[in-house]
Amino acid sequence: MCWLPLEDGLIAAFATPALLVTAVNCGFLVVIIRKFLKLKTNQDKSEIDRVKASVRAVAILIPLLGLTCIFGVLQFGQAATAFAYLFVFCNGLQGVFIFITQCLLDDDVKVFLKQKTSRGRVDQSNMSNSTCGTDAQ
């Protein structure tokens, strides 16, 4: 299934850099989460809220750091097909996930979209009311 055969040792050309980058990015993830938990805003929260915030941060950072590539490295043995599907699925939806977490779930974007949609409704209602009286003239 893989385009690099295991017998020739060519898989190391893919696996070594992927594992190196993944290991470095996992290190970055640990450092970021430690710094995140030490923020004053997080220290005032309850333990459950801190865990929720950490899980959300990890969920946002995993696709940004490319940690889904670990599924590509794990494509060998009996579970190769399952990891291949996970790899393709996670990497295929990476852009969608980043769009949702970084754009749609952002507080500033939510406020802007709420203002735009409410302003559009007000403008449409004002426009329909103002045009009703102009036809009679």
For 54-98, how does the pLDDT look when each residue is reduced to its tens digit (9 = 90+)?
888 888 888 878 778 888 777 777 888 898 899 889 888 888 888
Instruction: Give the sign of the dihedral formed by CA 109, CA 112, CA 116, CA 118.
Output: positive
Residue 6: pLDDT band by 50, 70, 90 thresholds?
A: low
Which residue type does 42 have? N
Q: How far apart are CA 89 and CA 95, in angstroms?
A: 11
Determine the distance from the C-alpha atom of residue 102 to the mean position of all C-alpha atoms in its chain, rounded to a whole number: 7
Residue 132: pLDDT band by 50, 70, 90 thresholds?
A: very low
What is the residue whose two structure tokens read 């009311």?
Answer: 129
